[in-house]
Structure 1
Amino acid sequence: EKRAVIQIEKNGYPDLIYINAAKIFQGIHTEKSEDKIQVRYGDNSESPMMAFKDEHSRRVSYELAFNTLKYQDLLEEILLDSRTYPCYSIPDELTSLLVVMLYDLQDRKFKKRKIFAEEELVAEVQEIEDYLYSYRTKLAAALARCRIKYDALSIEYFVPETIWKQEQRASTLPLCFWINTFKISLEDVIRDLEMKGFRKVESVSDFDHYTYAVDQHCPDVLVFPSSLREELLNFDLFADCKLLLQ
């Protein structure tokens, strides 16, 4: 049976995701020696992390922060080359938010973000979004110049080699999900998966795309092919914390 490939359109995230991702990125960004610093991140260590709405929000915030970290050097170069930075109306304490939102803007091909219904808006996010969007043509041109300069077909070229190798290894490992039995039973999970077209197999060696296996040592753990990561993480089972990624 053939299944349609699900294309997830990139519309951006709610404001609170950007705030939390920026806070995370602030704590993990690569700090450079004083003689090499061109982009200053200030100190917003006293600003609190917003409460995560749910497990999905937490995961997305961390993914956005770590994706920004992977491309930190490129994003900084784009900001400088386009003369989007420095901006004297944006304090150093908001630089992390600026860089995080730039990563997302280029990931959306510099298209305008979709505002979600009943979304809690944050003034700083709105301000930086408007600022970046007003520079979108210059930012896109700066990205193009960087790719030409480094002969890069895509921005993946700019990922540090050590991170790229780690990601390559991780991408081949099967995905393990723990069934949150406080919220759902194994039988109900299996029923839900079968309705989505999944088929149970005996072991990972039998994987064939839309298949899964029950862990032989822990029956509350399901194992899936790594190729299904994005699709699985968008399931209601995961968003509702009925399945938890290990």
Structure 2
Amino acid sequence: HNLIIVVLCDYMERKFQSRLVRSDLEDDDNDDDVVENHRTKLNAALARLCRISLNVLTLDSFLPESVRKNDKIASGMLVSAWVNAAKTSLHEVKQALHDKNFKEVSTQDELTHLTYLHDDHCPDLIFFPGQMLQKLEKISIVTKKFLVLQDKSSSVGLHALVSVLGEDDDVVYVNVGSAISAGHLASILYNRGSSVYAFGVTSKKQLKQCSMNLEKLGVRGQGYYLRKINQQIDGCFFLFNK
């Protein structure tokens, strides 16, 4: 019995990893193997005992107070999403939300559970309560990219830019990243006769990711290519429009 306790304490000390046996010490294989074969159950039982002794109701309670506070703040933040004009319209998105029992409200204070708010600054932007994020990620208009979940901070600059563009003006977009925001810009400019030239892709992997994201958004691209200088990828550009 005492040997089992010693072996168990040893396992806890090395976090249930296999033991390296010293050649100059006698090895008790039988007891060690018993603990090894039941290490998952032992680990779970010890975790339960620890939670009981500390009077902890959930695993989240083990997290530092600062982390739990940040999680609580994050859950209270609004979720924003923009309407993808390359695939749908604001009216159709609102209708789809109503079909899912969402109700439009007029003020942020009214946002709770199955409600949404049309933004005052960005005409294609909609807000939802933070606790609805997981539900939103599963509804078809989001999975099919008719409605794209993205923070409002990524949209404000795009709408400010479009407000000063002339008809048929084109846009150069640098540091394209994943191309989600560039795709949003193309959505805003949909049916305006403008094109977006996006630069800043520095690898084939990134180019593939950008192409996939644009395809999901329904934005058609033309002129995809990579350019190399001195065996290094110097960047590439692709243009896309409606």
If the length of structure 1 is used for normalisation, what is the TM-score?
0.44
- Structure showing greater relative contact order (alpha-carbon pairs closer than 8 Å, 6 or more residues apart): 1
Larger Rg over CA atoms: 2
If the length of structure 2 is used for normalisation, what is the TM-score?
0.45
- Determine which structure has the larger helix proportion and give its number: 1
